[in-house]
Amino acid sequence: MHEYKKVLESKMKIRFHDCDPFNHLNNARYIDYIVTARGDQLLDNYDLDIYRLAREKAIGWVSAQTQISYLVPAMVMEEVTIQTQLISFSDKSLVFEGLMWNNDTTQLKAVMWTKLVHFSLTHQKSHNHSAELIQLFQQIVNPLVSQVDFETRVKNLRPVDEPMTFRTAKDHS
């Protein structure tokens, strides 16, 4: 059996067109950055091409729920580290966690949980994962040590002495 990494990591640069007038990454774009990183990480680490599955097998995943907590702004042209992991799965769904950090992973910027439902594009309804996908999920799942809700997870990840901060472009220079 192949030994897979459970926590995947990649770097991304925050782009100007994704930022608000204060040079902070726009709230909606955090989701885009984390989901994009996850898709690239799946391909690079597990050879799982979600776009090929959609084209060739008419299956994919649709977002059923996203929870996100914004802790510290990501700033224009800042390089961030995005870590993702599969924290749970069932016959028809999965939940992944995404963490956005500063470049050297010393400051947590955002925490996101997304529940995805496996979906048949042909039948336009939820669909059971194949035995092959379940086998992969069993190898890569990284369940949280204790069953916690999202808010508790965020509280546990965030250092006690680090209050939420909001920087302006002037502070960043």
pLDDT per position as a tens digit, 36-59: 999 999 999 999 999 999 999 999
State the Cα–Cα distance between residues 49 and 55, nearest whole angstrom.
Answer: 10
**Averaged over 15-29, what is the pLDDT?**
97
pLDDT tens digits along 127-157: 999 999 999 999 999 999 888 999 999 999 9
In 130-154, which positions are buried (b, 16+ CB within 10 angstroms) versus exposed (e)? eeebeebeeebbeeeeeeeeeeebb
Burial of 92 (0-12, 13-18, 19+ CB in 10 A): middle
Q: What is the pLDDT of residue 146?
A: 84
Which residues contact residue 7 at a Cβ distance below 8 angstroms, ignoring those fewer than 6 apart?
83, 84, 85, 142
Query: For residue 1, what pLDDT band results from cuts at 50, 70 and 90?
Result: low
Question: What is the rounded CA–CA span in Å between residue 33 and residue 37?
Answer: 6
Q: Are 59 and 118 in contact (CB under 8 A)?
A: yes
Q: What local confidence, expressed as pLDDT, does residue 118 receive?
A: 98
Three-state DSSP class for 159?
coil
Compute the average pLDDT of residues 55-78.
97
Average pLDDT estimate for 112-120? 98
Return the CATH number of 8-168, one of 3.90.1150.10, 3.90.1010.10, 3.40.50.720, 3.10.129.10. 3.10.129.10
State the number of CA atoms in the 13 A half-sphere of 64 facing the CB.
14
Count the neighbouring beta carbons within 10 Å of the beta carbon of residue 1: 6
